[in-house]
A and B are shown apart, each in its own frame.
Chain A
Amino acid sequence: MITSLLRLGLIFILLILLQILLFNNIQFSGYVNPYIYIMFILLLPVEIPSWLLLLLSFATGLIIDIFSGSPGMHTSASVLAGFVRPYILRVISPRDGYELGSEPSMLTYGFTWFFTYTLLMVLVHHTALFYLEVFRLADFFGTLLRVLLSSLFSMIFILLIEYYRRGR
């Protein structure tokens, strides 16, 4: 119990540092900004109470917001992601249901399951984030392209990190 808490804390700090120091500085051609910090919300234990999940999402978003100087944007996208997570988990639950006390990782439930899970979560989060950022519906499809391309790259990075985690 204590070790898993410590591990989550460590993942949290690592992801935030990666996001602020590395990924916030990545930019290809104005369309791609990977946001990998939501991986923390992905990796919280399956049976976490929803109020705690929401509060942790809020805190994650707020920290990213403070460090990237964009009040509210990441916070509201993360809270939304935290809110839909239980529903997504229910929709894509494996045939035998979830094991008690397991974390939703690639190791436990396999690549395909983790891929679908990440895809849905990243899409929800990025859609909210990018439309809140422009805060207008003009150039709807331009923003949509940004959402899709950034989601693709966030997915790639999240899957790579998860793959690396599995290898250990």
Chain B
Amino acid sequence: MRNLLNFLVRYNNLIIFLILEGVAIFLLTSANSYHKTRFFNGIRGLTVGIETRISNTRNYLNLREINKTLAEENTALRNSTGLPTDRTNSLFFSVSDSGFRQQYIRTSAEVINNSVNRQKNYFTINKGTRQGVKVDMAVTSGRSVAGLIVSCSERFSVVMSLLNLDFRLSGRIKSNGYFGSVSWDGADIRHAVLNEIPQHVAVNVGDTIETTGFSAIFPEGIIIGTVSDFEKIGGDFYHITISLITDFRNLHFINVIGNMQKTEQLLLEKQFQ
């Protein structure tokens, strides 16, 4: 017993260090299964008030720019729908017409906390389950890809940004339809990488890269970016650098898109896996 006490006294700082480091590593690793931890949502709740305030200030400073992009987007939308009235409000808008089989529902939300300077970036938006947002819905900014919902509380959701090493997206070259996998390499927030395009395909700088809709998350044809550079590396595939359309440093209002037929598609596909 005396030996044990001596041991504890002698190595007390090593023991405290190991305990504290253990707690930290536990937090770190349990957070890797991001959307499963309730702990994280609890912590988020504490800081959300302050973050909302910071984001309000930031939005106020950027009002001119935000208004401009919103006005541009409104014009584009009005032109594309041809509807006489503007029916967008804060709730999901669905058409109650049994002859029209609606596949995607959309809503808009505000970004209240954003990060771009990490290797695994996430941002928080001010809508949650109460507004019908669910995990695995797509997030776009304007007309381009921004991220994927990974966690929802009642009034907030956390979005895995495209600028995250774990983010994968199926993308294709618009001009010829060849598809590959889009990911971020962690180097530059303005560029992402498109892999798995075979080398016999003609690729040009400036080609548009858009989503395929294979994953049943993103609708087909949402712009990701344009080809800024490509090189042939070992193997049979190109290494294509995409310059992203979305400016992640300047993300204020985003759209959430849910696929109403996702469950049906995934259930069917599951039978063959």
Contacts and interface: CB of A to CB of B under 8 A. Distances in A.
Nearest to B58: A25
Given A66-B43, A134-B165, A58 B117 contact: no
Q: Is chain A's interface secondary structure helix, strand, loop, or mixed overall?
A: helix
A133 B47 CA distance: 21
A145 B34 CA distance: 27
B26 to A, nearest CB: 7
17 contacts: A21-B54, A24-B117, A25-B117, A27-B116, A27-B189, A27-B249, A31-B187, A33-B117, A51-B13, A54-B20, A58-B23, A66-B43, A66-B47, A69-B44, A71-B43, A82-B17, A133-B119
- Closest CB pairs A-B (n = 6): A72-B28, A72-B27, A76-B24, A50-B13, A75-B24, A27-B117
Interface of B: 12-13, 16-17, 20-21, 23-32, 37, 39-40, 43-44, 46-47, 50, 54, 113, 115-120, 122, 124, 158, 165, 185-189, 249
Interface in A78-99: 79-80, 82-83, 86
A54 B22 CA distance: 13
B119 A134 contact: yes
B113 A58 contact: no
Contacts of A133: 118-120
A104 interface: no
Interface of A: 21, 24-27, 29-31, 33, 50-51, 54-55, 57-58, 61, 65-73, 75-76, 79-80, 82-83, 86, 132-135, 139, 142
Contacts of B32: 135
